[in-house]
Structure 1
Amino acid sequence: MRTIAIGDIHGGLKALVQVLNAIEVREDDTLIFVGDYVDGWSESAQVIQFLIELSQKTNCIFIKGNHDAWCERWLRTDTVDSTWYLHGGEETMASYKDVSLADKKAHLEFLENMPFYYLDDANRLFLHAGFTSMHGVEKEAFETTLYFDRTLWEVALTLDKRIKRASAFYPKRLKHYEEIYIGHTPTTNFDSDVPMNAANVWNIDTGAAFKGKLSGIDIHTKEVFQSDHLPNLYPNEKGRNKN
């Protein structure tokens, strides 16, 4: 049995198909998606539909990202958040142009039912962004922090490698979990287009929204599965690479 964590997709259905083909998904695999299925490339609605259908034949866990929360609100209320619109919402709205009301309702239900985090039986935590509570994700005061926070990754990056987990100086919030898998902050910001590891945190957002790739990682073996760079898959689009 394998468990594969998959990073931020951002409307890149072609990249998602490439990654799943590279994984060669088996019946007993578990796929854990860390959020941001929409906003960026032109196939956000199509990504959601694909994932709904995938979940009917494969064990999938879908974590909610900040872009998914924005899209959910739009589908529910028809309210367009101005920040969302400028950060991929325009492309997502366009992708829904020919989607039926019934499918929109199904997509809304899919988004509404997503958890903000998942903790497996080996104490590995999966969430979109991070958390700030020293007592762990369960004690986070605001659910929006779980899909907006960047400080968890910043702390992991700056942690002195000589400081061991048993040390009093090791960040308390990291001690709660065996491993933590996140997206949200592209590794391409740090000149890497592969998943990055710092302390016990794995960042698997490899910049699919921009000029990077979509990545999946086997959480046991750490084997990485990747798509082509997204601009090569959508040569006539800018994604979120807007000037």
Structure 2
Amino acid sequence: MFMRILAIGDIHGCSKAFDTLIDMVSIQPDDRVITLGDYVDRGPDSKGVIDRLIYLYNQGQLIPLRGNHEIMMLAARSHPNSLDTWKICGGQQTILSYQNSSRKKPKINHILPEHWEFVEQTCLDYWEEETHFFVHANVAPNIPLSKQSNHHLFWEKFYSAKPHYSGKTMVCGHTSQKSGKPVNFGYAICLDTRVYSPKGWLTCLDINTGKIWQANQQGKRRESWIDEFISSPRHFNYAP
């Protein structure tokens, strides 16, 4: 049996914040770590983030979900017309993270084969536990997880979240919070705290205890509890 079930919000190429957060949490051999997608783009070290995730996965501790930025990354490889769109949305930073001294102009085909395999084959669309389920973006409230549309799973914003018929609590990312604080509707929790921005943080939640750990790219740390962030959808101010 796993000691802790830990959910981590959108990392977006911010390996320094990720390293600090992992050090704070002090992952134990019987912990399960669920990452909510958007590992690439916007931050400076998408390559390093995926390297770290593959290591955790090979240790048997990681359940990685796929985010909309991974969807865009895969589309850019398969459909050249999608490459420019991906670059505008942060893909240029991802490609640059694979640069080395011998390459003057990095290209998408410099992304490592094992990283493509991780994004395309290892990452999942959703994950379900006894009392919680995990998705990147959102779900339609009256539909099983296995029948959710790609739009809901990867693109739908959090402010529209409603209680799922399963009675389980949804944990997601995707809708970035400029405040750097998670949002807790009780039946749904958003952990995307905009780590790539100057005032952003990377957030980890222990779903059983409600403990929150946060770290940023400057190496700062803070801790809190998810109940401190209880809010109501009608009071939720969405900021893109």
Question: TM-score category by the smaller chain?
Answer: 0.7 to 0.9
SS of the residue 1:73 aligns to:
helix
* Alpha-carbon shift at residue 75 of structure 1 (Å): 4.4
Partner AA of 1:224 in structure 2 = I
Partner AA of 1:105 in structure 2 = P
> Structure 1's 155 and 78: CA in aligned 2 closer, same or farther, altered over 3 A?
closer
Of the three residues 97, 107, 116, the one matched with 2:115 is 107
Of the three residues 156, 159, 184, the one matched with 1:154 is 159
* Alpha-carbon shift at residue 132 of structure 1 (Å): 2.5
Q: Does 1:199 align with 2:186?
A: yes
Equivalences for residues 1-243 of structure 1 within 5 A: 1-75=3-77, 80-98=82-100, 104-113=112-121, 114-120=123-129, 122-132=130-140, 134-140=142-148, 142-150=149-157, 153-156=158-161, 171=162, 174-188=164-178, 192-211=179-198, 212-228=200-216, 230=217, 232=218
> Structure 1's 54 and 3: CA in aligned 2 closer, same or farther, altered over 3 A?
same
1:186, 1:131 → 2: CA distance? 17
SS of the residue 1:174 aligns to:
coil
> Structure 1's 6 and 133: CA in aligned 2 closer, same or farther, altered over 3 A?
same
Q: 5+ unaligned residues in a row in structure 2: which ranges?
A: 101-105, 220-240
1:123, 1:138 → 2: CA distance? 17
Identical aligned residues as a percent: 29
Q: Which residue pairs with 2:226 in the alignment?
A: none
TM-score, scaled relative to structure 2? 0.79
SS of the residue 1:180 aligns to:
strand
TM-score, scaled relative to structure 1? 0.78
* Alpha-carbon shift at residue 195 of structure 1 (Å): 1.8
* Alpha-carbon shift at residue 86 of structure 1 (Å): 1.0
Equivalent pair of 2:142/2:165 in contact (CA under 8 Å): no
2:77, 2:38 → 1: CA distance? 15
> Structure 1's 136 and 209: CA in aligned 2 closer, same or farther, altered over 3 A?
farther
1:61, 1:87 → 2: CA distance? 25
What is the aligned-residue RMSD (CA, Å)? 2.3
Partner AA of 1:184 in structure 2 = H
